[in-house]
Structure 1
């Protein structure tokens, strides 16, 4: 029971990590593709949003590794 619960948590965290990573990369690509048409506030917004998404992906990756270690203990 506990093992299945941990596997489900890992699966959800992996899916969220992939979504956040793709969103962060898309924000950075959009910023790189259209930076000439944006003002400073928009550039700052897209850069910070991309960074936040990528940081969230890294945090979720660390969470996945932590859950995987707990799963190995069983």
Structure 2
């Protein structure tokens, strides 16, 4: 029996590595600055178009799928 969505032995993806950075800085007694950079070098995730969209596959779950992004925030405690 042949299934059209069965895995094949020739389905391989190259490995890739991403670099993430984060920081936290106590700028003043009650003020903290924090942030992060995800996928610092904007590495593109490998994609096999034959298996893209396969059962239970969500491309947004993989590192590199959305590229580089930044987060920055402030935390102030009133006392």
TM-score, with length taken from structure 2: 0.30
Highest relative contact order (Cα 8 Å, sep 6+), 1 or 2?
1
Structure number, greater radius of gyration: 2
TM-score, with length taken from structure 1: 0.31
Task: Name whichever structure is richer in strand by fraction.
Answer: 2
